[in-house]
Amino acid sequence: MWDWILKIAALLGIGGISLTQVISDDKKSWIALGAFLLLLLYVGYRLIRTISKRLDAKYPKGYLPISTIARMATTDGKNLVYETTRHIQVKRPTMRHFEHRFFWTGTKDPRVTSSLQMPSKIDCIDGEKTKLVKLKFPMTRVYDEVEVIHVRMDIDDSDQQSATYVSHTVDAPVTLISWRIELPYVTDRYFGSKASIYRTAINHQGHPAEERLETVVFDAVAKSFSFDLTHPEPGYRYTLAWPRP
């Protein structure tokens, strides 16, 4: 970058634009001013490019995750509401939207809404089951600002083809993952059921091995499973799975 600054300065000197000439000659003063503004624009462009490359290398997704709170609720086992609230810190010079990826095992796409962002249509990536929704911010966020991301999915699972689990990929340090699964329609026969917390490595060879971390007993009073996972180790996909009532 400094090589270019020296080259432009040398060109100004070769062109005969000196300080006294700038003061005494209106035409040359405008030329000098234009050249100086172009120099500032170029330096700013190179600076932003350099910062962006370094940030992309350290934060490939453009943000630092802080926490994720997930809630799944159904009153009949067929119509589901799934909500996630994320806190992130922007690690790009500017950020206009957030990409929410999810793996859906049901046969019908969910209806996606948000109380904080404007969601795009659902796109399929890496096959039919992996989905992507872009959540547009109300205003552009800049480096180190914190944004709260909200996603709500209303799901028709009347054929009950979806798998009964929620999972989150952790590829960067995060403070908290919180799960709550609400099943108010279950009967007494479901009391005593247990959910499992396990993790699988993101980068693996062949079939990934599941590492069981915790067992969560069904709360018969609240009729729910809930668990808080603090400071999970990056490099794994963390899952809470429960038996279908």
pLDDT in tens, 187-213: 999 999 999 999 999 887 767 788 999
Alpha-helix residue ranges (DSSP H) falling in the chain: 2-14, 19-24, 26-58
* SS3 state at 188: helix
| CB 164 within 8 Å of CB 241 | yes
Mean pLDDT of 31-39: 72
* Domain 63-241: assigned CATH number: 2.60.40
**Model-level pTM?**
0.76
> What share of the chain has pLDDT > 70, as a percent?
79
The residues, ordered by sequence, that sit 6+ positions from 198 with a Cβ below 8 Å of its Cβ are 210, 211, 212, 213, 238, 239, 241
Sign of CA pseudo-dihedral 142, 150, 193, 105: negative
78 with 50: CB under 8 angstroms?
no
Q: In what order do the strands lie in the sheet with 236-241?
A: 165-170, 236-241, 194-201, 210-217
Q: Which residues in the chain are classed under CATH 2.60.40?
A: 63-241
Strands 194-201 and 210-217, sheet pairing? antiparallel
Is the pLDDT confidence value at 7 over 60? no
Residue that has been written with the tokens 């809404």 in this structure? 113
**How far apart are the C-alpha atoms of 18 and 89, rounded to whole Å?**
47
Least confident of 31-35, 71-75, 207-211: 31-35
pLDDT band for position 25 (50/70/90)?
Answer: low
% the chain with pLDDT above 90: 58
132 membership: H or E segment, kind and range: strand 130-142
Q: What is the pLDDT of residues 74-104, one digit of tens each?
A: 999 999 999 999 999 998 888 999 999 998 8
CB 164 within 8 Å of CB 224: no
Look at residue 138 and tell me whether its pLDDT is greater than 80: yes
Q: Is residue 237 very low, low, confident or very high in pLDDT (cuts 50, 70, 90)?
A: very high
pLDDT at 11: 47
Six-digit token pair at 49?
């490019």
**CA atoms 185, 190, 192, 193: torsion sign:** negative
Average pLDDT over residues 3-19: 49
Residue reference for tokens 């490019």: 49
Residue 38: what pLDDT? Answer: 78
Q: Tell me the C-alpha to C-alpha distance, in Å, between residue 206 and each of 35, 169, 170, 203.
A: 59, 18, 20, 10
Q: What angle do CA 238, 243, 245 make, to 5 degrees?
A: 140
